[in-house]
Amino acid sequence: METATPALVTDGLTRRFGDRIAVDKLSIQVQPGDVYGFLGPNGAGKTTAIRCILGLIRKDAGNVRIFGETDPVRQRAHVGAMVETPRFFDWMSARGNLERTAAFAGKGDRSDIDRALQLVGLWGRESEPVRAFSLGMRQRLGIARALVGRPKLLVLDEPTNGLDPRGMKEVRDLLDNLAKSTQLTIFISSHLLDEIEKLCGRVGIIEHGRMIAEGKVDDLVAGEGGVTAVEVGARDRAGLCSALEAMDDVKLDGDGLGGRLRVLLAGVEPAALNARLVSAGVAVTALVPQERNLEQLFLSLTSKEIT
Ligand SMILES: Nc1ncnc2c1ncn2[C@@H]1O[C@H](COP(=O)(O)OP(=O)(O)OP(=O)(O)O)[C@@H](O)[C@H]1O
Ligand SMILES: [Mg+2]
């Protein structure tokens, strides 16, 4: 079977700031049509990696290929991007801002700008000055600007940053629709795990500039060796608590529903936990496994004391 040219590949991508390595031999694989979540805690190196990928800052080592292209000018023709908070000429209309960008970048005509405004749901508001726009509308206009020139790859750095839950949902729905209605490949960074889990089919998780897991969300979440969360209830809550605290492969993780305790298990089956508690004299009234999600995966990969 012939495999398609990957949309984005980085190989050994490295960037230092003085003695600090912000991006460390990072390898990323994004296939055409992927909605790829680029995850990592604050300071993990996401923005730095994205700037290197886009050629906005120099890289110290490694390669970047975008649809097979290694030449930065040819790469740019395939990519639309929004890095951190987009800035506009506030007094100028939304359309005026996009026209200016199109003229400056030498790509995108009037119909292209119309299409971008329609895709992000700002059609009908395009003549208004940007200063009248809410944060969510600005963020959508930033995405529209990235879409001018009909890129094949859309790169977004924290597009829901600073938005309220409704604004976040709007942007998420917009990206979801874009992915479904166009051939676009979307690469989106965030540290909001549940956001990404709802939107992305594949993710890469980085920490200290290094890739620590990459693959399909479902596969990663279902993978072996992770952490399982359960909620445990007992009439004698204090006794339950001290029994759990005595186990070194079990970690208390706060309160669950209805007076239950939330517990993270590293390689311990819930049934085994139950047996242990019973033999420790704790009458267990409830033991409810929690659905695994990206957040738990993230914890299992990054919380060293329990794995
Ligand atoms: N211009 C710079 N000069 C010096 N250090 C920098 C510079 N830009 C980033 N760094 C450092 O590189 C590391 C990675 O930062 P980066 O902004 O890429 O992280 P991030 O994953 O985007 O974080 P966040 O989720 O907070 O946006 C951090 O330690 C940061 O302090
Ligand atoms: Mg960042």
Cα gap 97→94, rounded to integer Å? 5
Q: Whose CA is nearest to atom 4 of ligand 1?
A: 17
What is the per-residue pLDDT across 248-296, written as a single tens digit (0 to 9) for each?
888 888 888 888 998 888 778 889 999 999 999 999 999 988 877 787 7
Q: Whose CA is nearest to atom 29 of ligand 1?
A: 43
Tell me the two tokens of residue 265.
Answer: 């298990």
pLDDT score of 124 = 92
Backbone angles phi, psi at 252, to 5 degrees: -70, 135
> How far from the centroid of its chain's Cα atoms is residue 92's Cα?
32
pLDDT score of 226 = 58
Cα gap 104→152, rounded to integer Å? 20
Is the CB of 40 inside a 6 Å radius of any atom of ligand 1? Answer: yes
Are the C-beta atoms of 78 and 67 separated by less than 8 Å? yes
Backbone angles phi, psi at 300, to 5 degrees: -65, -30
Fold of 227-302: Alpha-Beta Plaits (3.30.70)
Bridge-partner residues for 264, per DSSP?
A: 229, 251
Pocket test for ligand 1, best of 47, 193, 302 (most atoms within 8 A of CB): 47
Bridge-partner residues for 35, per DSSP?
A: 186
End-to-end Cα separation, the chain, in angstroms: 39
Is the CB of 86 inside a 6 Å radius of any atom of ligand 1? Answer: no
Is the CB of 17 inside a 6 Å radius of any atom of ligand 1? Answer: yes
Q: CB under 8 Å to 108, separation ≥6 — which residues? A: 98, 101, 102, 116, 148, 149, 150
pLDDT score of 307 = 39
Is the CB of 205 inside a 6 Å radius of any atom of ligand 1? Answer: no
Locate the ligand 1 atom nearest the alpha carbon of residue 51 and give its number: 18
Residue holding tokens 């050629």? 55
pLDDT score of 241 = 92
List the chain residues with pLDDT less than 70.
Answer: 1-2, 223-227, 300, 302-307
Bin 62: left if φ > 0, else alpha if -120 < ψ < 50, else beta.
left
- Complete edge-to-edge strand list for the sheet that includes strand 284-289: 250-255, 261-266, 227-234, 284-289
Handedness of CA 153, 158, 159, 160 (dihedral sign): positive
State the architecture of 8-222 in CATH terms. 3-Layer(aba) Sandwich (3.40)
Is the CB of 24 inside a 6 Å radius of any atom of ligand 1? Answer: no
- Residue 29: half-sphere exposure toward Cβ, Cα within 13 Å: 6
Is the CB of 47 inside a 6 Å radius of any atom of ligand 1? Answer: yes
Are the C-beta atoms of 263 and 230 separated by less than 8 Å? yes
- Provide the residue ranges of all domains of the chain, joining segments of one domain with +: 8-222, 227-302
CA angle 37, 38, 40 (to 5 degrees): 125
Are the C-beta atoms of 39 and 193 separated by less than 8 Å? yes
CA angle 297, 299, 301 (to 5 degrees): 70
Bin 18: left if φ > 0, else alpha if -120 < ψ < 50, else beta.
left
232 CA to centre of ligand 1 in angstroms? 40
Locate the ligand 1 atom nearest the alpha carbon of residue 48 and give its number: 18
114 CA to centre of ligand 2 in angstroms? 30
Is the CB of 154 inside a 6 Å radius of any atom of ligand 1? Answer: no
Pocket test for ligand 1, best of 16, 17, 28, 212 (most atoms within 8 A of CB): 17
Cα gap 147→279, rounded to integer Å? 62
pLDDT score of 232 = 93
Is the CB of 208 inside a 6 Å radius of any atom of ligand 1? Answer: no
Cα gap 85→119, rounded to integer Å? 20
* Closest ligand to residue 205's CA: 1
Is the CB of 190 inside a 6 Å radius of any atom of ligand 1? Answer: no
Residue holding tokens 């700008």? 113
The closest of 285, 239, 240 to 263, measured between CA atoms, is 240
Is the CB of 14 inside a 6 Å radius of any atom of ligand 1? Answer: no
Bridge-partner residues for 26, per DSSP?
A: 13
